[in-house]
Amino acid sequence: MMSTRRYLIAANWKMHKTLEEARALAREVRRGLTWGLKAEVALAPPFTALAAVAGELADSDLRLAGQDAFWERQGAYTGAISPMMLKDAGCHYVIIGHSERRQYFGETDHTVNRKLKAVLEVGLCPICCIGESLEEREKGQTLARVGQQLEVGLAEMGSLTGEQLVLAYEPVWAIGTGLTATPQQAQEVHAFIRSRLRELLHAAAEEVRILYGGSVTPDNAATLMAETDIDGALVGGASLKSASFLGIITAAG
């Protein structure tokens, strides 16, 4: 990793944790962090637990994140949460375009673009997820797919600083499967993403953090993050227990 980019280790709890469980896990993570930590750490609980987790993280350096946001500011959109509501709840980050949102909730590169713009407008930092399916990888379409997700997802974004955006490369075949991309496989795509970002965002591309996600564990985190363009991790399963999540944070140094 380049020295100017600070590692970000983000926990995506997905649809897990009651209020009590969420509070307990947030407390354990907070207590387990050592002083002078190099990495930035963020927790993305389900919406119902945002306030409770915000309480546990108060007066700490840990960041709160939403798992999704709608693009409208307010209105008759039953079930939706606006970027401003997330900001109000204490979020700094919001995950946008996760492959599970694309797979189960019909999100497309176009809706991702609308959401990114809305999130940036209120000053939240999106963690924008991209990645190919197994079929796309096997057909040799990985870079084409990821390139398209970037191009459409980041269209008409105007000028951005490197701190306003985080990307997460999450190969769909590696999510929740135990099949982690090798550090070389991941680095190849991360380097490609950075080269496309140079065209889209110019100098800011060097500051944008590109996280890897997909079966990250305390055992594989260090070798993945040793790669030049891997600037942290977006962690699903291993973030649901404090011991494994703290192990991944420790691997970041």
- Other C-beta atoms closer than 10 Å to the C-beta of 28 total 15
Least Å distance, CB 187 to ligand 13P, is 18
Cβ atoms of residues 91 and 124 within 8 Å: yes
Least Å distance, CB 177 to ligand 13P, is 7
Range list of β-strands (E), the chain: 8-12, 40-44, 63-66, 91-96, 125-130, 166-169, 209-213, 232-235
Q: Which is nearer to ligand 13P, 206 or 223 (CB)?
A: 223
One-letter amino acid of 3? S
Q: Is residue 222 classed exposed, middle or buried when 0-12, 13-18 and 19+ CB atoms within 10 A define those classes?
A: middle
Q: Which is nearer to ligand 13P, 26 or 42 (CB)?
A: 42
**Which are the catalytic amino acids?**
98, 170
Helix (H, G, I), strand (E, B) or coil at 142: helix
In the block, residue with structure tokens 């930035």: 40
Q: Which is nearer to ligand 13P, 83 or 236 (CB)?
A: 236
Cβ atoms of residues 190 and 233 within 8 Å: no
Tokens for 85, please give them: 């509501």
Which helix (DSSP H) or strand (DSSP E) does residue 190 occupy? helix 183-201
Name the residue number minimizing CB distance to ligand 13P: 236
Q: Which is nearer to ligand 13P, 2 or 179 (CB)?
A: 179
Q: Which is nearer to ligand 13P, 197 or 238 (CB)?
A: 238
For ligand 13P, the binding residues (CB under 6 A) are: 12, 98, 170, 175-176, 213-216, 234-238
The residues, any chain, with a CB within 8 Å of residue 218's CB and separated by 6 or more, are: 238, 244, 247, 248, 250, 251
Q: How far apart are the C-alpha atoms of 84 and 247, rounded to whole Å?
A: 33
